[in-house]
Amino acid sequence: MSPDLAAYLAPAGPRILAHRGLSLEAPENTLLAFVAALSAGATHLETDVHASSDGVAVLSHDPTLPNKGPALNRLTMAQLARIDLGRGQTYCSLAEALAAFPAALFNVDIKSADAVLPAAQAIHTAQAGHRVLLTSFSETRRRRVVRAAPGTVSSASAAGVAVLLVAVALRQHWALRWLSRGVSAIQVPEHAGPLRIVTPRVIRRMHAIGIEVHVWTVNDPAQMRRLLALGVDGLVTDRCDLAARLAHSPGSHALGDTG
């Protein structure tokens, strides 16, 4: 395990990645949602990044304002900061979030090409590389942001996950370490249609090459319990309050059938 990965994965135990914060009583991807998530026991804050028109990394899952409003990248960060999202919250920059929670671990999904350099700059300025795991659906974006933000670690892109899963299915175990270069985790749904992705064999093979398995988006306590028993390393969840309670309950991490 690299020093950078070891730093990011602290503290020990299941990773409870608060999906866009905890938005039961707060707008998602806002400072208030992140306060709620950390207070509820989340170990990591999961968030999404686009770019404003003036090149600032802004936290938002969607590329547009609510209710089919204009694209975020057509507005400046100052304009976005004046938009009322509810509960006194506005759009927040990645820099603001990193500064507001200087000890928090972040999982940052780069949603657009124009967000790559602004996100890297925010991470560099905050000297936060050791506490950020970067991810993107796009392999191109993933590679670009990792190069631009030294010291960070990343999870595999969609294409990277597919290649690793094919290698596991074909029992090409010799190739896994080479195929997983530069990747510290895979973040996957339990199923993709009829295909079950998270299996004991996938977990074993990923662990054998030092890669963590995080599953999204898991909100049902029974599913959380079952996945933790299988040995997954993290749960990406809208209900980090439930997941944290379950993760710290006696016997919740007992390994299930690994056959």
Q: What are the average pLDDT values for consecutive 10-residue runs of the chain, which has 259 residues?
A: 57 89 98 98 98 98 94 98 97 98 98 98 97 97 96 96 96 92 96 95 96 98 97 98 88 44
Sequence-separated (6 or more) residues with CB below 8 Å from residue 23: 33, 36, 238
Local structure of residue 93 (DSSP, 8 states) = B
Nearest to 158 by CA among 110, 223, 224: 110
CATH, residue 83:
3.20.20.190
Q: Is residue 252 included in any domain, yes or no?
A: no
For β-strands 44-51 and 57-59, DSSP reports them as antiparallel
Nearest to 95 by CA among 127, 63, 67: 127
Return the ∠ at Cα 199 (arms to 197 and 200), rounded to 5°.
155
Domain count, the chain: 1
- Reported as half-sphere exposure (CB side, CA atoms, 13 A), residue 128 has a value of 25
Choosing from 19, 44, 50, 214, the catalytic residue is 19
SS3 content of the chain, % helix, strand, coil (to 5): 40, 20, 40
**Given this model, what pLDDT does residue 258 score?**
35
In a domain, 208, yes or no: yes
Q: Would you say residue 122 lies in a domain? A: yes
Q: Is residue 19 flagged as an active site residue?
A: yes
Q: Which residues pair with 214 in a beta bridge?
A: 187, 234
Task: Examine residue 253 and state whether it is found in any structural domain, yes or no.
Answer: no
pTM (2 decimals)? 0.92
Q: Which of 50, 61, 207, 253 is flagged as catalytic?
A: 61
Tokens 């050791």 -> residue: 130
| 133, part of any domain | yes
Q: Is 61 a catalytic residue?
A: yes
44, 191, 237 from 241: Cα distances, Å = 12, 23, 9
In this structure, are residues 32 and 2 in contact, taking their beta carbons and an 8 Å threshold?
Answer: no
Is 36 inside a domain boundary? yes
**The pLDDT value given to residue 16:** 97
Instruction: Examine residue 188 and state whether it is found in any structural domain, yes or no.
Output: yes
Separation in Å, CA 244 to CA 39, 44, 241, 248: 10, 11, 5, 6
**Quick one: pLDDT at residue 249?**
76
Domain that holds residue 28: 3-246
Enumerate the H helices of 17-157 as residue ranges. Answer: 31-39, 77-80, 94-100, 116-125, 139-148
- Identify whether 255 is part of a domain: no
* pLDDT in the model for residue 259: 32
Reduce the DSSP state of residue 46 to 3 states and report it: strand
